[in-house]
Amino acid sequence: MLIERIFEVFLSGVTLGCIYAVIGLGFMVFFNVTKIFSFTVGEFAMLGGMISASLYSIGLPLAVAIILAVLASCTVSIIVWLFFLHRPFSQGNPAVTIIFITLGIHLLISGVAYIVWGTAFKEIPYFSQVSPLVWGGATISPQSLWIWGITSLTIIGLSLLFDRTLLGKGLRACAIQPLAAKLMGINPLYMAFASFILAAAVASIGGVTLAPLTMTQYGVGVGLTMKGVLAAAVGGMNKARGPIFGGLTMGLTESFVGAFISSKYMVAAALGVFIALLLVRPQGIFGVKEEV
Amino acid sequence: MNWEDIKYMRVVIWGMLTILLLLLPLFTSRYIQSILIFIEIYSLVAIGLCLLTGFAGQISLAQGAFYGIGAYTSAIISLRLDISPFLGMVCGASVAGIVAYVLGKRFLRIRGFYLALITFGFALFVDNIFYRFDFLTGGHDGISGIPNFSIGGFIMNKDFHYYYLLLVAISFAFFLARNLLRSEIGREMRAVDLFTGGSEIASSALGVNIGRLKTKIFVIASIYAAVAGSIYAHYMTHIHPQPFDISSSLLFLTMIVIGGIKSLWGGIIGAIFYIGSRELISYFMGGATGWDLIVYALVFLLVLMFLPEGLISFPQKIYLNQAGKTTPYE
């Protein structure tokens, strides 16, 4: 009985961890290319969830609603870039200024979301309406399978993009050394733009898959940013396996503490583990340290 | 204008400002006084953050958390142990300073914005402790019945007492920070700072220990926040976790950016602007409608894009434009 329970908790931890990993990947893509700490990732995850819920509630089929929601988040990211980020990036403003601009964008998007949707919590149904599966004595909600599948597809898609396409190579070149990349004819401005849209797309995929499990609201963005950032920080920013490892650790800690100790101390315990891990290895588990 | 005139005008302006600030509580209502007190509390927090962000070039997302640590430590100690709130304030500042030292020592040695990462997590952690560890912090309801400050037998239970107490605290904090910027630490910071033509690599080659330098500033900034939090707790006599959550840390950052991060006055101007706009918006549009957030965010973004050195640089910019000069950084 206990074994089954542990297995079940493990699986739900993996599910949570997948979401954190996806949002962390979104954060990492933009961070690595531009070295900018972005506050906007969680907002795009929030937009993904909220837009898909709205589209579903006006009667569109779920699949269409989800795809449109991801596209809509990308459109918002393009608009935001053109209005607020293009000028500072092309003028070469200092990193601190651009970080603050992403902070302003976070406030702006959550303000607009508040006006559009109010404080109401929204939800979308599970992606497939089947009864929970029983596997080795543990119950798994079908949504978990969807989340694992979509997370894996996202990771595979990202790695194909980075390894096999010209755009991906350009992004990687910018991440390693922007000046050298510029000398080779890669425009860092366009790469930053591309990585911003890519980050928004990845984050909104995470937000859409999370929406059926936990209800979504205009203010969930900052919490999601935080989870993603921490997942990326603990794992290390330099490698894609960083956020994946970090996200899974975080999800597993949360679900085990929540199930076996107390749900009250769940988040505090997960964060405590994280701060301890970071104190031991500040650059993250897979990170490379650059001392000043 | 020659130099003597400028010097004379400075004395006059400073004198008038001092008299105005000292007399302000005499002809204002209690409502205005409470607004002034909040401006003062936020200024104190923001001055510390200005030092860290504007001069040490690091972003802390835990300034609100340190503000909360000051408030909770001071409240719990003075309530449970029944000691003077001033001692509670010292304890709160010490706890904040020690935590900041541990975090800074580990994370400020790495290039980049790692402090932002860890303080993000730390702020959430502290927020969770305030909400969940209710045997200590009272959970959602918080702590009530916190004693007012008292000196000897004199209990400070009027608004204007706190106004003057905070005025003293801010003056002290401001001049401490200004002197710090003119000391060896300040010169080292200018050598590190990109804005003023410095370079991290060059100054570390010349023997500046950048990690230790930034850690010192981080500790000072956290202590400022904790002192402000402690005064908040003993002024309100009731605290709950909401004013210390992660969005408050983000708000402090927006304040200093609007005011101007390259000047200590920026923190004060940002606090005045934030509280002023909040009160005006809620006066004209009723409570929280979402529009307040949008207006504030747009002002913030416009300031960042067109006045990157904040509102404080506005008069200077006009003056320099008229005189046909360029800004000192160019």
Q: Does B202 reach chain A within 8 Å, measured CB to CB?
A: no
Mean pLDDT of B101-112: 82
Residues 6+ apart with CB under 8 A from A20: A227, A228, A230, A231, A243, A246, A247, A248, A250, A251
Angle between helices A266-280 and A241-260 (to 10 degrees): 140
How many A/B residue pairs have CB atoms within 8 Å? 140
Structure tokens at A256: 């085990």
Mean pLDDT of B233-249: 89
Select the CATH number that applies to the domain covering A2-280 from these four: 2.60.40, 3.30.70, 2.60.120, 1.10.3470.
1.10.3470
Contact A103 B308 (CB under 8 A): no
Nearest 5°: the CA angle B105, B109, B112 is 125
CB contact under 8 Å between B291 and A97, yes or no, is: no
User: Which of B198, B310, B317, B326 lies closest to B260, judged by CA?
Assistant: B310
Determine the pLDDT at residue A211.
Answer: 86
Q: Cα–Cα distances in Å, from B329 out to A191, B89, B198?
A: 29, 40, 11
Region B196-222 average pLDDT: 83
Please judge whether B250 and A107 are an interchain contact, meaning their C-beta atoms are less than 8 angstroms apart: yes
Q: Residue window 97-156, chain B: list those with CB within 8 Å of chain A.
A: 102, 106-107, 109-114, 116-118, 120-122, 124-125, 128-129, 132-133
Is the distance from CB of A211 to CB of A56 less than 8 angstroms? no
Average pLDDT, chain A: 87
* CATH class belonging to B32-322: mainly alpha
Q: Is pLDDT at A238 greater than 80 in this prediction?
A: no
Q: In the prediction, which pLDDT does A215 show?
A: 80
Q: Give the separation between CA A54 and CA B257, rounded to whole angstroms.
A: 35
A134 three-class SS:
strand
> How close A35 comes to chain B (CA, Å)?
8
What is the C-alpha to C-alpha distance for residues B261 and A97, in angstroms, rounded to an integer?
Answer: 10
Tens of pLDDT, residues A139-192: 788 888 889 999 999 999 999 998 899 998 888 888 888 888 888 888 889 999
Q: Is the pLDDT of residue B222 over 70?
A: yes
User: Which tokens belong to A49?
Assistant: 């969830």
Average pLDDT, stretch A103-109? Answer: 92
Q: At what angle do helices B210-236 and B85-107 cross, to 10 degrees?
A: 150
Check pLDDT > 70 for residue A58: yes
Nearest chain A residue (CA) to B58: A96
Q: How many CB atoms lie within 10 A of CB A182?
A: 15
The DSSP result for B133-189, as a single string, is: -HHHH-GGG-EE-PPPPEETTEE--SHHHHHHHHHHHHHHHHHHHHHHHHSHHHHHH
Mean per-residue pLDDT for A88-97? 84
Question: Between these two residues, B23 and A132, which has the higher pLDDT value?
Answer: B23
Q: What's the one-letter identity of residue A23?
A: I
Query: Is A88 close to B305, i.e. CB distance below 8 A?
Result: yes
Dihedral-angle region of residue B54 (phi above 0 means left; psi in -120 to 50 means alpha; beta otherwise): alpha
DSSP-derived 3-state class of residue A132: coil
Give tens-digit pLDDT for A253-292: 888 888 888 777 777 888 888 888 888 887 777 777 665 5
Q: What is the DSSP letter of B325?
A: P
CB contact under 8 A, A226 and B246: yes
CB atoms within 10 A of CB B43: 29
Task: Flag if A87 and B305 touch (Cβ within 8 Å).
Answer: yes
Chain A residues touching residue B49 (CB < 8 angstroms): none
Structure ipTM: 0.84
Q: How far apart are CA A269 and CA A261, in angstroms?
A: 10
Q: How far is CA B292 from CA A93, B113, B266, B288, in A?
A: 28, 30, 22, 7
| B290/A112 touch (CB, cutoff 8 Å), yes or no | yes
Confidence class for position B5, pLDDT limits 50, 70, 90: confident
Q: Among all chains, which residue has been given the structure tokens 């976070």?
A: A106
* Alpha carbon B189 to chain centroid, angstroms: 19
Nearest to B129 among A94, A96, A268 (CB): A268
Confidence of residue A221 (pLDDT cuts 50, 70, 90): confident
CB contact at 8 A, B42 and B170: no
Bridge-based pairing state of the strands A138-140 and A133-135: antiparallel
Interface membership of B296 toward A (CB under 8 Å): yes
B197 touches chain A (CB under 8 A): no
What pLDDT score was predicted for residue B49? 92
Backbone φ/ψ region at B111: left (φ over 0), alpha (ψ -120 to 50), beta: beta
Q: Give me A55's structure tokens.
A: 């589209």
Reduced to 3 DSSP states, what percent helix, strand and coil does chain B have, rounded to the nearest 5?
75, 5, 20
Q: pLDDT at position B262, please?
A: 83
Cross-chain residue pair B246–A222, CB shorter than 8 Å? yes
Report angle CA A174, A177, A178 to the nearest 5 degrees.
Answer: 55
Whether the per-residue pLDDT at B148 is higher than 80: the answer is yes
Please name the member of B117, B129, B132 whose beta carbon is closest to the beta carbon of A233.
B117
State whether residue B286 is helix, strand or coil: coil
Low-confidence winner among A10-19, A77-86, A243-252, B20-29 (lowest mean pLDDT): B20-29
Distance from CA of B42 to the nearest CA of A (A): 19
Instruction: Work out the pLDDT band at B159, boundaries 50, 70, 90.
Output: confident
Residue A291 phi, psi (nearest 5):
-85, 155
Lowest model confidence (mean pLDDT) among A54-58, A180-184, B83-87, B320-324:
B320-324
Q: What's the confidence (pLDDT) of residue B330?
A: 36
